[in-house]
């Protein structure tokens, strides 16, 4: 499908149009299109539009995958390998796994977006990240029109990071992701209030965990269909142990998690302490139940959201001396 001057779907509900919008249904279709598209234009590959903030129309070609297959490509007594098209809605994939009794992604229930983005963003929630179940990522080079498969280690995954967001940013379209799910349920219940939410589920199944995660998310996070947003707007900052100790002396209740390179502090907590939770600046606001989320109150532009983001970052810097950075991709 090819459309000119076409609105780009984004969960922030910002009006933005692509000069040309192209959805392809197979690798061969993408390979056939690339020479013509990449010669002339800027290219932007999008997924479900749940992590994008547009500050203007996009004067180029927006690509979207319509590859939506889920196939079992290997299995033994313990594990199943699933090769999944990049255009599959992420939560449909989670529901598919849970319905078959395969575990590994149930904690990632209800995250907006598509399978391709799970491998780019290394989506994560409630103690689990996509990298824990990704085996390999199949791609096509947007400038080279060559296929390339990245094994998990080559993706260089970190907290909300991958090689596809860093050195190779914008260079590859993800076509398929292969995940390894477990046939034996290993629950991950140590994050936050998941265990409490599951109090009387016995015996525990991936479906129980999925239901609990859905309840928690629906309670805390705004539904983009009702109020435009892109989930967490900021990443949680990691500070040095010395910095953390001085903060903890001043704020003994400060929530924190150990991270490989220091101590991770929830940005939502920092923003709330600055008095910004629930506050609006024009048509953009900080969500009233999770301060990490910025929302479009209706009719906000990308510039309105960016302005609020800058004001909030500045408030956190002034009060705590910590820089917080957007997680969303600003286009
Ligand atoms: N907190 C506050 N005030 C707030 C928000 C949070 O004090 O307004 C405190 C909470 O009380 C808790 C701590 O911060 O002690 C952590 O809060 P929460 O469990 O809600 O998680 P988070 O660190 O704010 C991260 C992810 C979310 C993910 C949750 C659960 C990032 C940037 N965000 O948020 O991801 O759902 O953990 O795992 O890492 C997303 O990426 O869009 C997203 C929603």
CB 176 within 8 Å of CB 138: yes
Specify the pLDDT at position 193: 83
Quote the ligand 1 centre to 183 CA distance (angstroms): 29
Measured distance between the N- and C-terminal CA atoms of the chain, rounded to whole angstroms: 23
Contacts of 68 (CB under 8 A, 6+ apart): 85, 87, 88
- For residues 252-273, give the mean pLDDT: 95
| pTM of structure | 0.95
The closest-lying atom of ligand 1 relative to the alpha carbon of residue 159 is 39
Q: Which pair of tokens denotes residue 190?
A: 């140590």
Quote the ligand 1 centre to 52 CA distance (angstroms): 19
The closest-lying atom of ligand 1 relative to the alpha carbon of residue 191 is 38
- For residues 149-153, give the mean pLDDT: 98
136 is catalytic: no
Residue 313 above 90 pLDDT?
A: yes
Q: How far apart are CA 197 and CA 182, in angstroms?
A: 23
Residue 227 above 90 pLDDT?
A: yes
Q: Which of 148, 156, 160, 279 is catalytic?
A: 160
pLDDT in tens, 32-49: 999 988 787 899 999 999
CB 212 within 8 Å of CB 307: no
Instruction: Name the helix (H) or strand (E) containing 179.
Output: strand 172-182
pLDDT-derived band at 89 (thresholds 50, 70, 90) equals: very high
Within 10 angstroms of residue 78's Cβ, the number of other Cβ atoms is 9
CB 210 within 8 Å of CB 300: no
DSSP 158: B
Q: 266, 294, 328: which to mutate for ligand 1, most atoms within 8 A of CB?
A: 266
Residue 154 above 90 pLDDT?
A: yes
Q: Which of 27, 106, 138, 327 is catalytic?
A: 327
Q: 264, 269, 324: which to mutate for ligand 1, most atoms within 8 A of CB?
A: 269
26 is catalytic: no
Quote the ligand 1 centre to 268 CA distance (angstroms): 6
Specify the pLDDT at position 191: 87
Ligand 1 atom 40: residue of nearest CA: 232
How high is the mean pLDDT of the chain? 95
Residue 200 above 90 pLDDT?
A: no
Does ligand 1 have an atom closer than 6 angstroms to the CB of 126?
yes
Q: Where are the beta strands (DSSP E) in 86-221?
A: 124-125, 128-129, 134-141, 147-151, 172-182
Q: How far apart are CA 12 and CA 49, in angstroms?
A: 8
- For residues 213-230, give the mean pLDDT: 95
Residue 199 above 80 pLDDT?
A: no
Specify the pLDDT at position 192: 79
pLDDT-derived band at 315 (thresholds 50, 70, 90) equals: very high
Specify the pLDDT at position 190: 87
pLDDT-derived band at 241 (thresholds 50, 70, 90) equals: very high
Does ligand 1 have an atom closer than 6 angstroms to the CB of 275?
no
| Exposed/middle/buried for residue 273 (C-beta within 10 Å: 0-12, 13-18, 19+) | middle
């Amino acid at each position: 499908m090819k459309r000119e001057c076409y609105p780009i779907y984004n969960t922030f509900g910002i009006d933005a149009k692509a000069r040309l919008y192209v959805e392809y249904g197979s690798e061969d279709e993408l390979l056939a299109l690339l020479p013509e598209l990449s010669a002339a234009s800027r290219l932007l590959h999008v997924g479900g539009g749940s992590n994008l903030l547009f500050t203007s129309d996009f004067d180029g070609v927006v690509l979207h995958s319509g590859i939506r297959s889920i196939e079992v490509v290997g299995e033994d007594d313990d594990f199943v390998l699933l090769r999944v098209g990049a255009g599959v809605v992420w939560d449909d994939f989670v529901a598919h796994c849970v319905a078959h009794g395969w575990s590994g992604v149930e904690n990632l229930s209800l995250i907006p977006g598509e399978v391709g983005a799970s491998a780019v963003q290394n989506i994560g929630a409630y103690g689990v990240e996509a990298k824990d179940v990704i085996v390999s990522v199949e791609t096509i080079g947007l400038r080279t029109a060559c296929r390339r498969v990245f094994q998990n280690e080559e993706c260089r995954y970190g907290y909300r990071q991958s090689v596809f967001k860093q050195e190779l940013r914008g260079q590859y379209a993800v076509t398929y992701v292969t995940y390894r799910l477990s046939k034996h349920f290993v629950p991950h219940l140590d994050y936050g209030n998941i265990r409490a939410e599951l109090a009387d589920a016995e015996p525990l199944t991936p479906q129980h965990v999925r239901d609990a995660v859905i309840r928690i998310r629906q309670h805390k996070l705004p539904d983009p269909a009702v109020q435009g947003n892109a989930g967490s707007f900021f990443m949680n900052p990691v500070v040095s142990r010395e910095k953390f100790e001085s903060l903890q002396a001043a704020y003994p209740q400060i929530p924190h998690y150990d991270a490989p390179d220091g101590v991770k502090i929830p940005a939502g907590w920092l923003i709330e302490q600055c008095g910004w939770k629930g506050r609006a600046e024009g048509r953009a606001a900080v969500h009233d139940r999770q301060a990490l989320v910025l929302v479009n109150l209706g009719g906000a532009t990308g510039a309105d959201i960016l302005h609020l983001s800058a004001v909030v970052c500045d408030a956190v810097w002034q009060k705590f001396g910590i820089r917080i950075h957007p997680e969303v991709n600003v286009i």
